Structure 1
């Protein structure tokens, strides 16, 4: 679709879809429940980026995602998004985003000013594990709202409801599994990898995690079964199973 799209990051901060999307790798890290595109691997790199950019960042106790624009040309440079804990109360709404029209491109901010982009509150993964949708506590999505998914990086979309950012989505999230700052594997994941990630995410959602944390035996049995399935799939997808395996092992150590 036409990429001449206006993006309201907040009620006061705006940008326009322009130019190519971010070229940096998309990384989904289940261990620390985050998604990032760009940014620095070392603390010194991150400090330098903050000095050379503007936008949203978590200050003090603010639950804000990090979206940074270059001061020199106001173009999007990087983002770091937190994966919310709670399952979505409206799976149908989340599913509708998977078929929304898509615009592709980078962002150019209207003005060089800081703002706070609230972190998403709810998440949903489709049954096949091919879409991860994260929405804010107030998605402001009316039934007749214009929905657009802006692909700002490989697999990574900002979700617009009448132009306002109401969340984000990753298509084929298993493709971008990473541990630290290495690049995700170039080969696409198979259906089993997608389902294993789906099941890992399901076990760490609010009520499900609460059961694990309380020592619920049935929940711990599901976690141990997931660990077995991840190990069994290691030969087929070793890099991604290493990432998932570390996340599962940490859960087993912490709660079971």
Structure 2
């Protein structure tokens, strides 16, 4: 493990619920389902497989209308075996996003539950976007930025938990456009096209506040941007898997708010 993980051996996730940092991150490729605003890291490929996965594991998970972020553990080894994170619609101001520290670097490390019991992992409230949207960082709140981070624990490729005072205060996904997909489908392993990266940035802008609020209130300039993005995504010939993943949500917004 890297220095950050070595300094932090135990993480608090919910009140007194803790997990031990191991040297065994998941090897599962993350999937960014843009329409549902979720990052999935798990061995399942359908709704039915996911439901069985939840039954066969423990940790933080949905309950009735409660939909917290999810970390799932194997009941025998107590090792982390899957995760799901929800991307908040509240985008931080550029000035706040610029405060997200580059250090400490990500240290690969899995988790092992200290007790085989369920817990609750609150969803994050603020989305901070790195330059060029190359990193999505979701934080518990912006107060996290007032103090340094202790560690970034890389629990899967390009997915890290952010740690402050021994507590998980957020998570990040590096190179999110690479992992764009729809539903439970595997992402395209080929590098994302530059055109897709530009369209991803505009898609993020129009599906987070404050521009999303303008779209929903049918502000003409925002609706014009939505129409232009919709047409650009439909017209893009390369990287169709990722373009279609973006279009799944942008198309819904266009049908609701883009009419003339």
> Common fold, TM-score beyond 0.5?
yes
Residue equivalent to 1:23: 27
| RMSD, aligned α-carbons | 2.1
Residue equivalent to 2:62: 58
CA contact (8 A) 2:103 2:149 kept: no
Match runs of 1:44-193 below 5 Å:
44-89=48-93, 91-92=95-96, 95-137=99-141, 139-143=143-147, 145-193=148-196
- Residue 219, structure 1, aligned to residue 222, structure 2: yes
Residue equivalent to 2:251: 249
Once residues 143 and 53 of structure 2 are traced to their aligned partners in structure 1, the CA distance between those partners, rounded to angstroms, is 30
Match runs of 1:196-207 below 5 Å:
196-207=199-210
CA contact (8 A) 1:102 1:148 kept: yes
CA contact (8 A) 1:24 1:153 kept: yes
Give me the TM-score of the superposition, normalised by structure 1: 0.90
Once residues 228 and 99 of structure 1 are traced to their aligned partners in structure 2, the CA distance between those partners, rounded to angstroms, is 39
Query: In terms of mean alpha carbon deviation, does 71-80 or 179-188 score higher?
Result: 179-188
Give the CA deviation at 1:146: 3.7
Query: In terms of mean alpha carbon deviation, does 38-47 or 158-167 score higher?
Result: 38-47
Out of 237, 240, 249, the position equivalent to 2:239 is: 237
Over 3 Å counting, the alpha-carbon distance change for 1:58 and 1:158 in structure 2 is same
Structure 1 unmatched runs, 5+: none
1:19 aligns to what SS in structure 2?
A: coil
Paired residues, number: 254
Give the CA deviation at 1:112: 0.9
2:100 aligns to what SS in structure 1?
A: helix
Once residues 194 and 152 of structure 2 are traced to their aligned partners in structure 1, the CA distance between those partners, rounded to angstroms, is 24
Give me the TM-score of the superposition, normalised by structure 2: 0.89
